[in-house]
Amino acid sequence: MDYTPSELIIGYFKKSLDQEGMDEFYKWVNENPDNKKLFFEAKTIFDSVYGSTILDINDSWQRLLDKKTSEGRNKRTSLWRHMSKYAAVASIAIILTSAFFFFFNNNEFTPPSAEYITGDGIQSDMVILSDGTKVNIGPKTSFHFAPDYGKKDRIVYLEGEAYFDVAKHKDKPFIVKVNGQDIEALGTKFNVMAYASDSIYTTTLLEGSVSLSTNHITKKTVLKPDQQFTYNKNNRSVTITEVEASLYTAWINGYYYFSDQNLKLILSKLSDIYGVTFEVLSETLINKKFTGTFYRGQSVKNIMEIINLSIPIKYNMKEQHIIIEES
């Protein structure tokens, strides 16, 4: 089925796309920087209206789609037709903005703004929030901010990895919410890695200080620069280690550093970065440790050869699937 960009975006928000539709959505988003920028702008509006709570919006979306397909009612309708025919980026942004404010009866609400800067495939994408806070977004990461961001406090939500360069506002604390954890900062630079599929969450501090509140941990933890906080969700344990923090933020420039990490974690990260899948045929092998740095400009094959220097492996690449076994 051929979808228009508007139908892909709306279907994604409604979670109504089938597998074919989702494949087409991801293909469209990654087709060029303009598409990615457009989707982020639409998501910003959506998150600003709904915040972290997903409501029953089927009726609103259906009216929106009906409005798109009905003819001759008003200028908004003609713009929808123009958008569907030409997939003009500017038109989609205008229409989505207009449609949100048309369907949500809160004329006094002004959503917080954000600027999206597309990376070049090596350097990461970046979001600049309305207060000047800069957020570098990692691969396969979900990030959004609260609808009242900047009023009393500055709350953002993260699933994945992000590097935060927080603008200083002493009277408005900056809080990152991940699953089961709040990370609070006033003005600081820190990195958070908290993928839902991982059992380990890490927060690494470069400058300033952050305070961490974690479910099942009664005492707050305050980090100093070059400290890393690690939380294990499985056994609810916490460790704080001294690290060279800059190594853990090098990914924003395309470098990924691994310090004595097992092969399972490394392959998971490579899967996120390169969009490939791995199958390891040895339980022993998957727990082998590796220390080193990869560059995003390297090919997956080149990285496999580097791993092979430390961990003897055999690998067979079949398009986007790689089978690994002991050498």
Same domain as 317, residue 229: no
Please give the average per-residue pLDDT across 102-107, as a whole number. 46
Domain boundary among 76, 103, 130: 103
Same domain as 120, residue 16: no
- Mean of pLDDT over the chain: 79
Name the more confident of 108 and 62. Answer: 108
Task: State residue 107 phi and psi, 5-degree precision.
Answer: -70, -15
d(CA 9, CA 3): 10
Quote the distance between the C-alpha of residue 42 and its chain's center. 15
Same domain as 243, residue 183: yes
Q: pLDDT, tens digit, for every residue of 252-303?
A: 999 999 888 889 889 988 988 888 899 999 888 988 999 989 998 899 999 9
3-state SS string for 119-156: CCCCCCEEEEECCCCEEEECCCCEEEECCCCCCCCEEE
Same domain as 239, residue 134: yes
- The lowest-confidence range among 95-109, 130-144, 157-171 is 95-109
Domain boundary among 214, 248, 282: 248
Same domain as 181, residue 141: yes
What confidence tier does 47 reach under pLDDT thresholds 50, 70, 90? low
Which pLDDT does position 45 carry in this prediction?
Answer: 62
d(CA 104, CA 100): 6
Please give the average per-residue pLDDT across 86-99, as a whole number. 42
Same domain as 304, residue 216: no
Of these ranges, 65-79, 103-117, 119-133, the one predicted with the greatest mean pLDDT is: 119-133
d(CA 160, CA 326): 30
Which pLDDT does position 110 carry in this prediction?
Answer: 56
Same domain as 263, residue 209: no
Is 108 a domain residue? no
Count how many domains the chain has.
3
Element (H, E) at 277: strand 277-280
Is 128 a domain residue? yes
CATH of the domain at 205: 2.60.120.1440
Residue 136 pLDDT exceeds 50: yes
Is 292 a domain residue? yes
Which pLDDT does position 29 carry in this prediction?
Answer: 77
The overall pTM is greater than 0.85: no
Is 187 a domain residue? yes
Same domain as 241, residue 269: no
Task: State residue 194 phi and psi, 5-degree precision.
Answer: -150, 70
Same domain as 41, residue 86: yes
Same domain as 195, residue 86: no
What confidence tier does 112 reach under pLDDT thresholds 50, 70, 90? low
Range of the domain at 317: 254-326
Please give the average per-residue pLDDT across 101-111, as a whole number. 49
Same domain as 135, residue 31: no
Percent of the chain with pLDDT over 90: 37
Domain boundary among 205, 221, 248: 248
Is 109 a domain residue? no
- The lowest-confidence range among 57-71, 215-229, 268-282 is 57-71
CATH of the domain at 320: 3.55.50.30
Is 295 a domain residue? yes
What confidence tier does 63 reach under pLDDT thresholds 50, 70, 90? very low
Same domain as 310, residue 194: no
Which pLDDT does position 209 carry in this prediction?
Answer: 93
Residue 176 pLDDT exceeds 50: yes
Q: pLDDT, tens digit, for every residue of 6-21?
A: 788 878 877 788 888 8
What confidence tier does 33 reach under pLDDT thresholds 50, 70, 90? confident
